[in-house]
Structures are given as C-alpha cells and as structure tokens.
Amino acid sequence: MTDVPSFKPVGDTGLLVTLSDVADEAANTHVIALDHALAAAEVNGVKECIPALVNLLVHFDPLITDHASVEAAVRALFPLPDITASDTTTHIIPVCYDAELCPDLLATAEATGLPPEQVIAAHASARLRVSMYGFAPGYAYLSGLPPEIHVPRKKTALRDVPKGSILIAGAQSILTPLTMPTGWNIIGRSPAEVISGSRFLFDVGDTVTFTRIPRADLPEWLQT
C-alpha cells in the first residue's frame, strides 16, 4: 500500500486510481477511505465512484471535467482521513445453518478438520467488511472470515444456487442476491434481501455480522 496512488485513464469518462499491488485489508480500507473522501469532496463533474479491492474507478462527465482535473482533485485528498464508526453501518444478517439447506457444510467441516458446529460458530461470530461489489448486481464480497474456516472454491460450479444462499471461499463470504451459478461453498441460507428496488442493502465499507436462526424462521420458499 502507498500514500501515492497511480492513475490510469479508462475511456473518455473514467479514471482508475490504484492504491496497492496487494489485495489485503489495509489496501481495501484505504480504498474505502478514498471513496468516502471523494463523496464528501463533491468534486465537480464526478458522477460515481466504484471501489474495488485495491483500486477505485472514478466515473465523470467529460462535458464538465477531464482526466487531469479529476486526478488533481484526487491527489488533493491525500493523506486520507481514517474511517470512523459513524461513517459506516453494521448489518446483522439472520442465517439458517440447517444441514439439509447447506450442501457444502459437511465438506467444509472435513476440509477444515472442524466439527460442523464449530464451522457454524466461526462463521456466525465473524465480523466482516463489505470490501466491494462485483460479478452480478448486489453481489457483495464480505472480507474477514476467520482463518480456521478458509476453504478454496470448488473445482466445478453448481447451477441454480438459490437466492439467499450463504457462501464462503478463502477469506470471504457472500449472501447471494439472485439465483445463480457458483463454485463457492454453500453453508447457510438467509431471508435478507440484498436488492430492494434500485438500492443495495450494503454500502462498501459497512460491517456485516450474522445471527443464527432456526429453519422455521425462514420464509416458506426458502425452506426447501
């Protein structure tokens, strides 16, 4: 990670700001801090900022500003202020870990050497950070899983994984916003709605925690 970002034009309307060559928590925290700083600065002509793990895409109106002006505005924000708790929201997501709804729970337990209940306890006690969106609308990558339940993605993706599935792979977890294919490990199911109209439940930088619920507390369509 560096306090001197690099800049790359992306077409006529974008500027990619890269803060690190290494995707780790420190780099992503820095990206999120830049996202907040840009939002607060209300830079003339900037329409949207899209944060990722180590960089951030600034989308601007070329009739109002240009690459050089946006770069100068971004440089002026450094050094970045720290993010405080008041800058983000904590979300508590209900999750059912019933084995019949979680086809990869036992395989995850075998891979980690932990009993299934310890896998569940580790996931349910995690305090994760929304590090970025990607792959599909509402597909929020939640970083910070405990190391003891880090498992790789499966070699073959599974089709039609139900909306509301809780997935893990590596240090990340995901709550699927739509029915979709995935090669991640399915260890839970949640009634939480990630997409509501044109809005997403999480903002990048928010904190996500989980609370265990019984199968009976799921909507009927999620119980099978």
Q: Which residues contact 37 (CB under 8 A, 6 or more apart)?
A: 77, 80, 81
Domain boundary among 64, 85, 106: 85
Tell me whether strands 90-95 and 207-212 are parallel, antiparallel or unpaired.
parallel
Q: Which residues contact 167 (CB under 8 A, 6 or more apart)?
A: 161, 173, 174, 175, 176, 182, 184, 185, 186, 187
pLDDT of residue 217: 93
Domain count, the chain: 2
Tokens coding 39:
């939002």
**Structure confidence by residue, pLDDT tens digits, 148-205:** 999 999 999 999 999 999 999 999 999 999 999 999 999 999 999 999 887 899 999 9
Same domain flag for 187 and 148:
yes
- Structural domain range at position 50: 6-85
Rounded-to-integer distance, Cα 7 and Cα 36, Å: 18
| Average pLDDT score over residue span 40-64 | 96
pLDDT of residue 81: 86
Same domain flag for 158 and 190:
yes
The pLDDT of residue 1 is above 70? no
pLDDT of residue 73: 97
Q: Is 191 within a domain?
A: yes
Domain boundary among 43, 62, 85: 85
- Can you give the CATH number for the domain in which 41 is found? 3.30.1360.40
Same domain flag for 14 and 107:
no
If one counts every other C-beta atom within 10 angstroms of the C-beta of residue 9, the result is 14
pLDDT of residue 4: 72
Q: Is 1 within a domain?
A: no
If one counts every other C-beta atom within 10 angstroms of the C-beta of residue 100, the result is 11
Q: Read off the pLDDT band of 17 (50, 70, 90).
A: very high
Q: Is 116 within a domain?
A: yes
- Angle 45-47-51 from CA coordinates, rounded to 5°: 125
pLDDT of residue 78: 94
Same domain flag for 27 and 104:
no
Rounded-to-integer distance, Cα 119 and Cα 126, Å: 11
Same domain flag for 31 and 142:
no
Whether pTM exceeds 0.85? yes
**Structure confidence by residue, pLDDT tens digits, 79-136:** 998 877 667 899 999 999 999 999 999 999 999 999 999 999 999 999 999 999 998 8
The pLDDT of residue 16 is above 90? yes
pLDDT of residue 83: 78
Domain boundary among 57, 85, 113: 85
